[in-house]
Structure 1
Amino acid sequence: MKQKITDYLDEIYGGTFTATHLQKLVTRLESAKRLITQRRKKHWDESDVVLITYADQFHSNDLKPLPTFNQFYHQWLQSIFSHVHLLPFYPWSSDDGFSVIDYHQVASEAGEWQDIQQLGECSHLMFDFVCNHMSAKSEWFKNYLQQHPGFEDFFIAVDPQTDLSAVTRPRALPLLTPFQVMTPTY
């Protein structure tokens, strides 16, 4: 299995992913293994129903949205929906949660990790990882702009002369945003 992972990572990162990186990745995966719930023995079928919602969709006067959703789900939805797909619940700066600032946090205005853990105790959870979107306000992007070691290839810099007229984007904002990088990457 390690060799297969190494082959994939070599293909993605062009040989810059070392044995040390692999060992760190394996160590992290092993430590996270205990958090992964048991796989269901059966495949999905017509009895599985998935509720897709944003983490901040349910409101009450005295609770944040995630604990409010937990209460509502327990009372009204648990018998109907076996799975809950939470759209991005991380701190974000734009794009309705898809411009992630920090993947390790739950947006404080929505709730906290404990709320998500409680929801996971009574439903099968799914999340959007959103690895192809990141906020310009994230530490990773700031480290990229400063060209800190390990971050210099985390983002794609496009030569301003590149013709992108054929790119369609269903957003009001421009496709690209100019930033000053310590050392140009193109």
Structure 2
Amino acid sequence: MEWIHELFQQYGYYVVLVGLLLEYIALPFPGEPTLAYAGFLAHKGDLSLPILIILSFIGTSVGMTIQYFLGNKLGMPFVQKYGKYVFLTQRKIDLTRMWFDKYGYFLIFIGFFIPGVRHFTGYFAGIINLPFRRFAITIYSGALFWVSFFLIGGYWLGGNLHDIFGALEGHIGKIIFGVIVIVAITLGVRFRKQLKRALLQNAS
């Protein structure tokens, strides 16, 4: 977590704004731990929680919007040629299409919490020509829920764990990150199992 702390020391709010935007375009960036740690910094009074939520939401939403229009304008030729660089393959598109046929726009909303899904949701939506207005309403709502979940989680856990882990202040960020990631992964794994079960039923 030290390097994340260093980033916030040097760049402040730009870490979440620029980092999350780039994460959804192509750059590997640890979104969840960064948001959780930012929430912890807000609890300490170093940053403002409302500003963090707003800027994180903007960065995520802009990144997803760019994804959508890249997928919409460039289509499958883009995926076939450059998809590997953003972890996007034809198989993932086909699989996501089957999930979307069953779960609809809820998949786009909850996809933020499913490992390996949120990073190509926008590309998928653009490639299959989902109406932008409905996509935007769903993805922006999901983005707000996702960033708020980790930021507020980091802020809230920072307050409740302060007394217990006061002697381990240097490790509180790691503890917060661990707890929140476990919760998020649990939600994602459960939903993913449901999707796989539905996929098997469709195949049979």
Identify whether the pair has TM-score above 0.5, normalized to the shorter chain.
no
Higher Rg: 1
Which one has the bigger helix percentage?
Answer: 2
- The structure showing larger relative contact order (alpha-carbon pairs under 8 Å, at least 6 residues apart) is 2
Q: TM-score range by the shorter chain?
A: under 0.3
- Structure with bigger strand share is 1
TM-score by length of 1: 0.26
Normalised to the residue count of structure 2, the TM-score between the two structures is 0.24
